[in-house]
Amino acid sequence: MSNIVPIDYETLRLLWWMLLGILLIGFAVMDGFDLGIGALLPFVAKTDEERRIVINVVGPVWEGNQVWLILGGGAIFAAFPLLYAVSFSGLYLAMMVILIALILRPVGFKYRSKIGDTGWRSKWDMVLCFCGTVPALILGVAVGNVLLGLPFELDGTMRTFYRGNFFQLLTPFALLTGLVSLSMLIMHGAALLTWKTSGPIADRARTYGRWAALAAIVLFALAGVWIAYGIGGHVITSVIDPNGQSNPLGKTAMVETGAWLANYKTYPWMMIAPIAGFVGLVLALVGFTIRKPALTFITSGLGVFGIIATAGVSLFPFLLPSSINPNAGLTIWDASSSHLTLWIMLLSTGFFLPIILLYTAFIYRVMRGKVTGDSMAKNPNAY
């Protein structure tokens, strides 16, 4: 295989771990403000015209933003198939709730303004609020459960057996991480609204954004303390070959309180992630206060990056720990696709990802400027 693939297996696994993180962070940053704006819709916009303005901030771009979710799911399927099998089957009901919300969102965009009746539009506004709040919350709950470990095990043929249910996901720590996610994305959505709107909408968004940023700071810090002292992290206790064949049962592991913080001592550069999270959140709070919308949005995105990256580097090299059999936990070294598959996928990503980035940049350049009542009146495609 080394004669065909110029990059060794260990490096490809690391590259795909980083690429997966980039894609998931891309989804959180790009589609995250869509979710946050949806959650804020009934609160920042009081009249029908104001609500149409808020909807039209994200209406033209939500489809492109959601591509990052599809890319992330595809990357998990192609690069880490065992992770795909365990997480997508074990978290099936939670993912179905998220998908229902994501399906209802464009329906709400399209149908809300079809009828002028106030009651009709108000009901769709509540649907759009649901479609922003619920995915933001459940995605955070999912991350919390990954840190806790999911109740799955593997048999000798690598068949997965999930021993939990939906309601067991709603533990206190997982709900806390859900609130971290919700407050983070509400802050991010409010930051975009202060940039893309004006007048009362921007003022209300600024107020809610400040509270959300402050809540995210406190909750993120509380989650860090809980991880340090309240939950067990997983530690590999046997020798593992980063260039070996994928077999999660070929290692031994144990659970140890505070183990998720061990990487920051082993790899000090990983401290960049939590530092970026706190710095981004604090600067976003400052940006809301001093009314600098561009600074607010950029630093809000930095905060989103830092929070999600913190979860990823804390888990390293684990992708999905098992709460009932630590030896079955999935790591980047034993749950990946083959050497050749990772190489082919890397080449494909190297070709398509720049195209997606260029297209996204072009779309946002075309859509630049504030959304106002006048701009909607001139646009026959406005929602």
Residue 377's CB: how many other CB atoms inside 10 A?
9
Q: Which amino acid is at 24?
A: L
| 154 secondary structure, DSSP code | E
Tens-binned pLDDT, residue by residue, of the chain (383 aa): 556 888 899 999 999 999 999 999 999 998 899 999 999 999 999 888 888 889 888 888 887 888 888 888 888 999 999 999 898 888 888 999 999 998 998 888 888 888 878 888 889 999 999 999 999 999 999 999 999 999 998 887 888 888 888 888 899 999 999 999 999 999 999 999 999 998 899 999 999 999 999 999 999 999 999 999 989 899 999 988 888 888 898 899 999 988 999 999 999 999 999 999 999 999 999 999 998 999 999 999 999 999 999 999 999 999 999 999 999 999 999 999 999 999 999 999 889 889 888 988 888 888 788 887 777 777 767 77
- Euclidean distance between CA atoms 59 and 45, whole angstroms: 15
| 334 secondary structure, DSSP code | T
- Tens of pLDDT, residue by residue over 111-124, are 888 887 888 888 99
User: The dihedral of CA 210, 57, 301, 198: what is its sign?
Assistant: negative
Structure tokens at 5: 């693939």
Q: Please say whether the beta carbons of 189 and 39 come within 8 A.
A: yes
Q: Which amino acid is at 255?
A: V
- pTM of the prediction? 0.92
